[in-house]
Amino acid sequence: MQTSFQRSLLLGGLALFCLLSLILAPQALHRVYAQGYTDQTTQGKRIVVSISQQELTAYEGDKEVFDTLVTTGRSQLPTPTGTFHVIQKLSPTWFHSPWPKNSKYYYPPTYINYALAFKDGGFFLHDATWRSSFGPGTTDDNQGSHGCVSMNLESAKWLYDWAPVGTTVQIE
């Protein structure tokens, strides 16, 4: 009888440990990604996004190595400005709307091929295969993103392959 009780207690503790691991581990890992990166580990790579030009430019040191048109956030859900770092890379992944189905901002589960998180809260550089155009004029309140920086599939793949976790992301 005592063995059965001990076994139940052990299994219950193990189940609790697994549950807590599922809840807490992603948060802990997410924060670790953003720490300890320098120009040496990212090879001086940086990504600059111009909201006014709707353009993303990639640099190695001072040398421009890539350029593409993007679509950034609509006026009610703007892309944050400032200096960030790639904190996580996902390929492939699904985005799920944080807004309820009755919200004007809701979107159905969306498949993304290449996503680079640059800020907690769901801010990514990613492909947007549902869009046919990017660049100036694509951020009105019907077309703009929900705060992310979106681009065509080929550009997102190039950026995903080129930028390691820790790469500086400047959004201005």
Can 126 be counted among the known catalytic residues? yes
Can 18 be counted among the known catalytic residues? no
Three-state SS string over the chain comes to CHHHHHHHHHHHHHHHHHHHHHHHHHHHHHHHHCCCCCCCCCCCEEEEEECCCCEEEEEECCEEEEEEECECECCCCCCCCEEEECCEEECCEEECCCCCCCCCCCCCCEEECCEEEEECCCEEEEECCCCCCCCCCCCCCCCCECCCEEECHHHHHHHHHHCCCCCEEEEC
Question: CB–CB of 157/113 below 8 Å?
Answer: yes
Per the residue annotation, which of 18, 30, 85, 126 is the catalytic one? Answer: 126
Catalytic residues: 126, 148
